[in-house]
């Protein structure tokens, strides 16, 4: 069972982040969106090629993203990405699944349901929120293509909102912003490091335990609290993004 802990108002999430390129032979109809994770970092961050960002969120019944999560996400990306044409987020429901979800099954679901793709001056990102569960019991979400993310909505709900747990918005936002950090090329995943701060044991994560891009946060001095805040990107991650075309 995943445990979500809060320490001194800092959101602490004990989950592993799995970044994995899709290996399913069923490719997407848009070749741009069928590339390896991190390949679109520059395109996401700068306005040289794409001036507008569209994010398509599709959720399974019972697990839509909270409206505040969407507002947080918009602010997060507006603070990082140079998109003078705007950042647009739409959300819609798709059919239920209820089974274990792998990278390949997420890719198949995306192939069947995704309709927003990169074209013209607009880059598109796809976020799938499932009602299934992760077989590793430690993962709340993963990024698996250059513009594709999967969140385990059921697990996020189960590990938030209770006594000693973060709010649903705080946990949902933290997981989503962390995975988007990988889409943006962090750490050393398409966005070059300005100074070395990559966790070489956990791959493409930050060495700073207080950074949003740390692979996990753990402590033995737990102070439960009913409020929670979302971890921020540290200066090293922000400097990397800025140097790669971001704000």
The pLDDT assigned to 223 comes to: 29
The pLDDT assigned to 17 comes to: 64
Q: CB atoms < 10 A from the CB of 155, how many?
A: 26
Read off the pLDDT of residues 154-212 as tens digits, 9 standing for 90 and up. Answer: 988 888 888 778 889 988 999 999 999 999 999 999 999 999 999 999 889 999 988 99
Asked if the model's pLDDT at residue 28 lies above 60, the reply is: yes
- Sign of the torsion formed by the C-alpha atoms of 169, 66, 179 and 15: positive
Is residue 21 very low, low, confident or very high in pLDDT (cuts 50, 70, 90)? low
The pLDDT assigned to 18 comes to: 58
209: left (phi over 0), alpha (psi -120 to 50) or beta: alpha
The pLDDT assigned to 26 comes to: 58
CB 220 within 8 A of CB 165: no
Q: Is 213 exposed, middle or buried (0-12, 13-18, 19+ CB in 10 A)?
A: buried
The pLDDT assigned to 167 comes to: 87
Strand 148-152 relative to strand 141-145, pairing = antiparallel
Please give the residue range of the domain that contains residue 144: 4-243
> For residue 158, what are the contacts with CB-CB under 8 A and spacing of at least 6?
none
Read off the pLDDT of residues 103-133 as tens digits, 9 standing for 90 and up. Answer: 888 999 999 999 999 999 999 999 999 998 7
Read off the pLDDT of residues 77-97 as tens digits, 9 standing for 90 and up. Answer: 999 999 999 999 999 999 998
Cα distance between residue 222 and residue 219, in whole Å: 6
Asked if the model's pLDDT at residue 222 lies above 90, the reply is: no
Q: Which of 10-19, 47-56, 146-155, 160-169 has the highest mean pLDDT?
A: 47-56
Q: Tokens 């790669």 label which residue?
A: 244
Q: What is the CATH number of the domain that holds 49?
A: 3.40.390.10
DSSP state of 119: B
Cα distance between residue 63 and residue 154, in whole Å: 7
Higher pLDDT, 164 or 239: 239
Asked if the model's pLDDT at residue 19 lies above 70, the reply is: no
Strand ranges for 131-247 from DSSP E: 141-145, 148-152
Higher pLDDT, 134 or 51: 51
CB 161 within 8 A of CB 183: no
Is residue 3 very low, low, confident or very high in pLDDT (cuts 50, 70, 90)? very low
Structural domain tally of the chain? 1
The pLDDT assigned to 205 comes to: 93
* Percent of residues, the chain, with pLDDT higher than 90: 63
The pLDDT assigned to 158 comes to: 86
């Amino acid at each position: 069972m995943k445990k979500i802990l809060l320490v001194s108002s800092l959101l602490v999430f004990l989950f592993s982040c799995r970044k994995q390129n899709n290996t399913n032979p069923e490719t997407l109809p848009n070749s741009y969106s069928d590339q390896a994770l991190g390949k679109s970092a520059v395109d996401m961050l700068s306005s040289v090629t794409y001036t507008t960002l569209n994010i398509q969120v599709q959720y399974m019944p019972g697990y839509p993203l909270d409206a505040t999560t969407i507002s947080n996400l918009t602010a997060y990306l507006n603070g990082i990405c140079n998109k003078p044409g705007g950042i647009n987020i739409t959300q819609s429901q798709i059919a239920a699944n209820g089974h274990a979800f792998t990278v390949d099954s997420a890719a198949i679901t995306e192939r069947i349901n995704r309709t927003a793709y990169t074209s013209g001056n607009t880059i598109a990102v796809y976020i799938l929120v499932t009602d299934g569960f992760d077989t590793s019991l430690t993962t709340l979400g993963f990024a698996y293509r250059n513009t594709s993310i999967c969140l385990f909505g059921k697990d996020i709900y189960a590990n938030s909102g209770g006594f000693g747990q973060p709010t649903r918005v705080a946990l949902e936002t933290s997981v989503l912003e962390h995975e988007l950090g990988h889409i943006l090329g962090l750490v050393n995943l398409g966005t070059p490091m300005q100074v070395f701060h990559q966790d070489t044991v956990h791959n493409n994560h930050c060495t700073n335990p207080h950074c949003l891009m740390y692979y996990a946060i753990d402590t033995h001095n737990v102070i439960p609290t009913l409020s929670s805040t979302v971890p921020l990107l540290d200066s090293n991650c922000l400097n990397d993004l800025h140097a790669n075309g971001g704000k």
